[in-house]
Amino acid sequence: MTAAVLLGLLIGVLLGLLGGGGSILAVPALVYGVGMPLRTAIPTSLVVVGFSALTGLVPRLRTGQIQWRVAAVFGLSGAAAAFGGAAVNRILPPWLVLAGFAVLMVGAGLRMLREPSEEGGACALPGGGVHWQTCLPKAVATGAVVGFLTGLFGVGGGFLIVPALVLLLGLPMTAAVGTSLVIVAVNAAAGFVAYAGHVTLDHALTAAFAGSAVAGSLVAGRTATRLNAGRLRRWFAYLVLAVAVLVVVLLVIDPAAIEH
């Protein structure tokens, strides 16, 4: 229990400092830090992902920076695909799922090392709207990919959603971040429902991990504006890459350890 609380606080602090992305470390933390089987760690991670997204969303509800129609398109397609990701997870061996997760972490880490772009996408209209007639299929496909990854790996996918909203649909960065939180929360809820009945969670451990993560996020969020965001993002990217390497090494040493 102590390990769950401490690691939850760490994940929460990263979430608060970075505004998202920190939850990608939740699954490795639960598997190797808490000793939770991978099959249980993924839905537990989705609880953390969902509550963390809602925590970040609440202060943005009154700002008018959330594009609800965009969130609906991405969220509905992603929620449906999350069930598919969870179904695929159940038929794959755990070592293969975690190996794929390590590959995803490498991609996320490299993505975080790139400077964020403010360029409008080809789907953006001059008045700030979205040209849905031509871009709806792209939005649905992108939302489905992120939702599938959420169901398969237990990640929020904000590191994919925000660039897609900015570069594909042309949303300003502030609107993309707020809108992505809605999408992440919807995907996480759908993914969690998809696992319900297939795994038995340790409710006390889940509550301790998720609660400490939310608390850490709220506390760290107050100091985030005083720190260099670019430097924080780069160091976190290095941490994600290092954890990905560690996951692969541990898988090679003892691939069966993640099942117990």
In tens digits, what is the pLDDT along the chain, a chain of 260 residues? 788 888 888 888 777 776 666 678 888 888 888 888 888 999 998 888 888 888 878 777 877 778 888 899 998 999 999 999 999 999 999 899 999 999 988 988 887 787 655 555 667 666 666 777 777 888 898 889 989 998 999 887 777 788 788 877 777 777 787 888 888 889 889 999 999 878 888 888 889 988 898 888 877 766 656 667 677 778 888 888 898 998 889 888 877 767 65
Q: 166 near 119, Cβ under 8 Å?
A: yes
Q: How far apart are CA 72 and CA 258, in angstroms?
A: 35
pLDDT of residue 20: 61
pLDDT of residue 82: 92
pLDDT of residue 92: 92
Is 125 strand, coil or helix?
Answer: coil
pLDDT of residue 148: 94
What secondary structure letter does DSSP report for 95?
H
Report CA torsion sign: 226, 232, 233, 239: negative
Number of H helices, E strands in the chain: 10, 0
Q: 153 near 104, Cβ under 8 Å?
A: yes
| Residue-range definition of the domain harbouring residue 77 | 2-259
Q: Based on the structure, what is the number of domains in the chain?
A: 1
pLDDT of residue 227: 67
pLDDT of residue 124: 67
pLDDT of residue 91: 92
pLDDT of residue 88: 94
